[in-house]
Amino acid sequence: MHDFDLTSLRLFVAVCDQRSLARAGEQAHLGVSAISKRMTQLEEQLNVPLLLRHRRGVAPTPAGEILLEHARTMLSGADRAARDMAAHQHGIKGQVRMLASVSSITESLPDDIAAFLQLPEHARIRVDIEERNSIGVIRGVREGEAQLGVCWDAADFGMLQSLPYREDHLSIAVHPAHPLARSKRCRFEQTLDSEHIGLPGSTAVHTMLARAAAITGKPLHYRAVVSTFDASLRCVRAGLGVSIVPREIAEPFARDDRIKIVALSDAWARRRFRICFQNEAYLSPAARLLARHLSSMTSAGQPKSS
Digit-coded pLDDT (tens) for 49-63: 999 988 888 999 999
Instruction: Let me know whether 91 and 42 are in one domain.
Output: no
Residue 305: pLDDT band by 50, 70, 90 thresholds? very low
> H or E segment at 18?
helix 6-18
How far is the C-alpha of 112 from the C-alpha of 133, rounded, in Å?
20
Q: Model confidence over 273-295: pLDDT tens digits?
A: 999 999 988 888 889 999 999 99
Residues 284, 96 contacting (CB under 8 angstroms):
yes
Alpha carbon dihedral 302, 303, 304, 306, in 10-degree steps, equals: -140
Q: Say whether both 136 and 219 belong to one domain.
A: no
254 lies in the same domain as 278: no
Contact 212, 195 (CB under 8 A): no
Residue 39 belongs to what domain range? 6-74
* Together in a domain, 159 and 277: yes
| Angle between helices 109-118 and 285-295 in degrees, nearest 10 | 120
pLDDT of residue 255: 78
Same domain, 160 and 184: no
Q: Is residue 302 part of a domain?
A: no
Confirm whether 103 is domain-assigned: yes
For residues 295 and 282, what is the distance between their CA atoms, to the nearest angstrom? Answer: 18
pLDDT in tens, 91-107: 446 889 999 998 899 88
pLDDT for res 1: 45
- pLDDT of amino acid 298: 67
Task: Indicate if the pLDDT at residue 76 is higher than 80.
Answer: no
**Would you say residue 20 lies in a domain?**
yes
Residue type, 142: R
Domain identity same for 91 and 233: no
Distance in angstroms (rounded) separating the CA atoms of residues 248 and 123: 29
Are residues 177 and 149 part of one domain?
Answer: no
- 89 or 189: whose pLDDT is higher? 189
On whether residue 192 sits in a domain, the answer given is yes
Q: In this structure, is residue 196 part of a structural domain?
A: yes
CA distance 250 to 235: 12
Q: How many domains does the chain have?
A: 3
Rg (CA), the chain: 24
Structural domain ending residue among the three candidates 22, 52, 74: 74
C-alpha torsion angle, residues 274, 280, 282, 287 (rounded to 10): 60
Residue 240 lies in a domain: yes
Specify the pLDDT at position 248. Answer: 87
- 223: in domain: yes
Binned at pLDDT 50, 70 and 90, residue 249 comes out as confident
The three-class DSSP label of residue 112 is: helix
What's the helix, strand, coil split of the chain in %, to 5?
50, 25, 30
- Same domain (yes/no): 238, 146: no
For residue 263, the one-letter residue type is A
Using pLDDT thresholds of 50, 70 and 90, give the confidence band for residue 77: confident
Residue of 222, 169, 220 whose CA lies nearest to 200: 222
The domain that holds 219 is classified in CATH as 3.40.190.10
Which of 50, 74, 98 is a domain's end point?
Answer: 74
My answer on whether 39 and 108 are in the same domain is no
The predicted-structure confidence for 166-206, as pLDDT tens digits, reads as follows 998 999 999 999 999 999 999 999 999 999 999 888 788 88
CA atoms within 13 A on the CB side of 249: 25
* Type of residue numbered 191: T
CATH number for 68? 1.10.10.10
Inside any domain, residue 285: yes
Q: Looking at the structure, tell me whether residues 117 and 141 fall in a common domain.
A: yes
Of the candidates 268, 287, 291, which has an alpha carbon nearest to the alpha carbon of residue 164?
291
Residue 24 and residue 50 in one domain: yes
Residues 51, 116 share a domain: no
